[in-house]
Each structure stands twice: as structure tokens, then as C-alpha cells.
Amino acid sequence: MNARLQVNEVMTRKILGVGLEDSVRKAFSIMSEKRIRHLPVTDNYGSVIGILSDRDLYRAMTPQPVHTFDDEPFNFDSSLKVKDFMSWPALSVGENESLPQVAERFIREKISAFLVTNPKGLYVGIITTDDLLRVLAAQEVQKQPQVRLLMNQYWDHVDLG
């Protein structure tokens, strides 16, 4: 991985979030609709206090005994809130940290997302292991023409938005 690349060059700047008191169903809907796996969690004052991952939501799911193709194969108890399943405190990295440093932290801390802060300590984005994999894949594409063709075909079909 390119040691010169920094977090601010690959992070996602437009981040969605959920409130502490929001239902896990709402969080699941946002993640499903936007095809993302992490949501920052804010308190009643708008301060980021944690993060909710798709793995956290899996713990909140209850299987349905029988379902049809029109039904979802799981359900959420309507009383379950984001605060009951989120991870806290939210871990962060600086926007000017190098990607290899961040990759080492992902491995060491066994997590798949960090919120990104600017030098003033304000949250400005999120970086995930998927972002690092995109960088690694792009570097391989540049090295090998046959991989470039396959990756271009793949990225043409991926909705990142």
C-alpha cells in the first residue's frame, strides 16, 4: 500500500448517522438502502459518541420462523434502540495519517471502521477496510493490464453512492 497516501485522500466525507434513541430498524433501513456497514451515533446534542456496525445489528435481529420471498427473513423488536447495540467510544484516526498506519490499527484493534477527525478534532469523515481494499485493488490494476480490464468491468457495476 502506498505509504504516501493519507486518510483524507480515500475517506468518505459524506457520512450518514443515527441518533442514540433511534430504532435499530431505522439504522438497518439506512444501511440497507445506502449499502453501507457503519453509522456514527450521535447523542441528543449532535455529538458523536459511538458507531453502529452491521455486526452490531446482527445481534439485534430475531429470526422469523417462516417467511416468503416478499418478507424479510428477520425482524427487529420495536423496543430495541441503537444505544443498546452500538460500540463506544467511537474510535478515530486523523485525516493526515498514512494508510499503512491506519491499516495497522485496523489489524491491531480488530475493527473495520474509524471515524476521521481534522486537526481541530472535528469529525470530517469515515474510513473503512473497504476503502483500503479499493486502494490496494487500484494499485494492482495499475501494475497488471489484465487485472485493469477485470476491475474496470467490476467497478462499472458497483454502486458506491
Domain ranges of the chain: 7-155
Contact by Cβ (8 Å): 41, 17: yes
Write the CA distances from 88 to 33, 83, 94, 142, 147, integer angstroms. 24, 9, 18, 38, 39
Q: Cα 16–20–24 angle (5° rounding)?
A: 75
The CATH fold of domain 7-155: CBS-domain (3.10.580)
Residue 151 has pLDDT above 90, yes or no: no
pLDDT (tens digit per residue) in 5-59: 899 999 999 889 999 999 999 999 999 999 999 999 999 998 899 999 999 998 8
Indicate the pLDDT class of residue 77, thresholds 50, 70 and 90. Answer: confident
